[in-house]
Chain A
Amino acid sequence: METIWFVLVALMLTIYVVLDGFDLGAGIVHHAAAKTEAERRGILRAIGPVWDGNEVWLIAAGGTLFFSFPVLYAASFSGFYLPLMMVLWLLMLRALGIELRGHVDDPVWRRFWDFTFASSSAALTMFLGVALGNVIRGVPIGADRVFFEPLWTDFLPFGRTGILDWYTVLIGVVALAALAVHGANYIALKTQGQVQMRARQLGQRAGWGFTVLAVVSLGATLYVRPDMIGNYRVHVWGWLIPLVVVGGLVGMHHARTRQRDLPAFLFFSACLVGMFAGVAFGLYPRVLPSTLDPRFDLTVWNSAAHSYGLRVGLIWWSIAAVLAAAYFIFLYRAFRGKVTLEGDGY
């Protein structure tokens, strides 16, 4: 039962990254892809009806994590206190950037919110990557199952660690590159003309950058956490996951060179899913490793809620997930196709 919930939480986080990832990515490449006012409005129209629903996956994943692994939720949220509060502030700024930009018809106002939207999207992506880096590297959990991480110490991923060290920052940069690709792919899919051309180019370039970074980060991960490979040694079928990542990446590059936007977007989504699955597979059954002693690792077994709650939760969660999927299919169908730069957009 605990394993099922581990898979479900990982799945929700993955869906969050794939869906909110493209609107975060749209923010990252906002200034590079769109130059004129009409073009920038076009990008915001492309994410306008969906970004809020996408972000709900983060909140829903957080809630699901809370009830299925309360010990993990409490330990990680209080341990990552400062960076999480900054994530909250960035989420606020970003939402304001998206929503308030169009409210006042003034170039200075719009330029300010464009900047806010772009910079907070990039910073948030960095933070989320850094957070993932921290989970992989591990945190100083003691016997009392709590910890508190300062923002930085000596920037080394060993000994007395901080939130930021060279490894976690590297993962942050990987995340930035990944979502830049993802955002560019989405914009190419939803727009036409100049913006589309630029987005395609950006997608291609960022795609190469990401490929290099992904290889580097893989090496770094195995250096910082050699035991991430353990599960792959035991369960050979796990190697399917890196296959998906490589396949997605190759497919994306292939589709990009032929200017086929939908396959490029889908292939790269598969690549993101594969990367998350790979991390989850490598971590299991740990959910937050301890850097002090493997005995203090938080695992699915010692951080989960009582079994009755998990069983009941599975019933309502399944119902809600089917409903949510239905809303999303309806929502994306209603807003399918390209946005127009003139008029009211849809």
Chain B
Amino acid sequence: MDDPVLMHRLHFAFTITYHYLFPQVTMGLALLIVVLKSLGLARGDARYDQAARFWAKIFAVNFVFGVITGIPMEFQFGTNWARFSTAAGGVIGQTLAMEGMFAFFLESSFLGLFLFGEKRLGRVGHFMAAVMVFLGSWLSGYFIIVTNAWMQRPVGHSVGPDGTIHLDDFWALLNNDWAFWQFLHNMGGAVVTGSFLMASLGAFYVLGRKDVEYGRMFLRVGVIAGFLATLWQMYPSGDAQGQNVARHQPPSFAGMQALFKTEQPAPIHLIGQPNTAEQRLDNPITIPAVLSFLTYRRWGAEVKGLDAFPRDEWPDNIPLLYYSYHIMVGLGTIFIAIMVVAAFLLWRRLLDRSAWMLWILMLSFPFPFIANTAGWFTAELGRQPWLVYGLMRTVDGASTHVSAGNALFTLLGFMGMYTVLSMLYVLLMWREIDHGPRHGT
């Protein structure tokens, strides 16, 4: 506990993991609210507007929690990672500042209008406000992804004699090909969370015979969006992002797959426990040659294992990296199965009567949060031991003069604060859900 770098890592990991529970809801719901508002406009059906109003309330609660847990993230670059910020601030500061200037102003201004101004704006104006909130929240996601993508695959920079990293090419930074697929994959993940929430709540209302009309609407929108988003997460976005990792971070890729030895053809491990001491996978269930095909589209291709790389470039927590990746992929596969069956039942008009499916949908809502979290763990643990891949190691980035004791003090403070936040969040969400979509303005 007296290792400051470990404390700073835990500090950031804890606060970012908690923070990202909320933006994935707001980014996902922002899209679905636009869908509801456009259905309302297109069909002239006021029930869609009422539904949008209800989801706007859920959105608003999540937005507040996202904002207040998000501000510490920007601060921590300076407070806990001062050496990283000094060296790389000229690059990552650009995109973080752009997030504030382009996305937050847009999102917060129009959210105020969207939540408080429906009467003043009129129908079309209110729809436009929803679109602007959606744009703002996705733009914000884009700038964060660009920032992270630069840390995963640094481009468009040069390193000065004093170790400071300068930006040389602004467009290269924004068009990083890592960022492209990472963004699409990440936003797909947010839509999965949003659509599972909507479908889950719809199932709850239908099963409870309460607000059944709205329950059916939520099921329809949630299941269609969820069907598209879960498939999108596997192909093309997940597939492409996996290839990015294989191409640019081969040791991380080997770590994710727990591929200790280079193999040709390489098998895929479905289940098993990495044993780093013995450098093998215990109790594996394996399909031969599949990893070669997925990575290089050739059944006989060689995939480099960890043994092909020097030990000090290995990710420093291979078991957790492996589990994170497998939890993400495993849950993603289960989501596809759920949504394909639900979409089929919806198409055959059987979904409302299939109580078993409604139960599955209702109880499924926590799992997208786990999958999204596991996905980010995969990205961040895979990047280790680097803070900026190939440029700066994590141990060299932390603030030197903020002691482990001070960092532990504030970490405990955040834990206490977030415990209170969690209780309030559950209370507020339950009240909105219990209130139901038919009541209130």
Instruction: Write the residues of chain A forming the contact surface with B, with a CB cutoff of 8 angstroms.
Output: 48-50, 52-53, 55-56, 59-64, 66-68, 70-71, 73-82, 84-85, 88-89, 91-92, 95-96, 99-100, 103-104, 146-148, 305-306, 308-309, 312-313, 316-317, 320-321, 323-324, 327-328, 330-331, 334-335, 344-346
Contacts and interface: CB of A to CB of B under 8 A. Distances in A.
Contacts of A74: 77-78, 81-83, 85-86, 89, 399
B97 A63 contact: yes
Interface stretch (B100-108, B189-197, B205-213, B240-248): B100-108
| Chain B contact residues, majority secondary structure | helix
A91 B417 CA distance: 12
A179 B356 CA distance: 58
B98 A81 contact: no
| Chain A contact residues, majority secondary structure | helix
Chain B, interface residues (CB within 8 Å), range = 35 or more
Contacts of A334: 113, 117, 120-121
B170 interface: yes
Given A67-B93, A67-B96, A92-B417, 16 more contacts: A60-B101, A60-B105, A62-B100, A63-B98, A63-B101, A70-B90, A76-B78, A85-B79, A91-B68, A96-B68, A100-B428, A103-B428, A146-B82, A305-B90, A306-B164, A327-B105
B406 A309 contact: no
Given A63-B74, A305-B89, A323 B170 contact: no
Contacts of B71: 59, 88, 91
A81 B406 contact: yes
B99 interface: yes
Contact of B93 (A60, A66, A99, A344): A66
A52 B428 contact: no
A194 B360 CA distance: 55
Given A77-B78, A78-B399, A81-B402, A52 B108 contact: yes
Contacts of A85: 72, 75, 79, 410, 413
The 9 closest A-B pairs by CB, nearest first: A70-B89, A77-B78, A67-B93, A60-B100, A63-B97, A305-B90, A320-B101, A49-B112, A78-B82
A324 B164 contact: no
Most buried by A among B91, B98, B100, B428: B100
Contacts of B167: 305-306, 308-309, 312
B149 to A, nearest CB: 17
A28 B428 CA distance: 26
Contacts of B81: 74
Given A67-B90, A84-B75, A49 B113 contact: yes
Contacts of A344: 119, 441
Contacts, number: 220
Given A75-B82, A78-B399, A81-B402, A346 B166 contact: no
Contacts of B60: 99
A95 B68 contact: yes
A59 B119 CA distance: 30
8 contacts: A56-B105, A60-B101, A88-B71, A92-B68, A92-B417, A306-B90, A317-B97, A330-B113
B401 interface: yes
Given A78-B399, A96-B424, A53 B96 contact: no
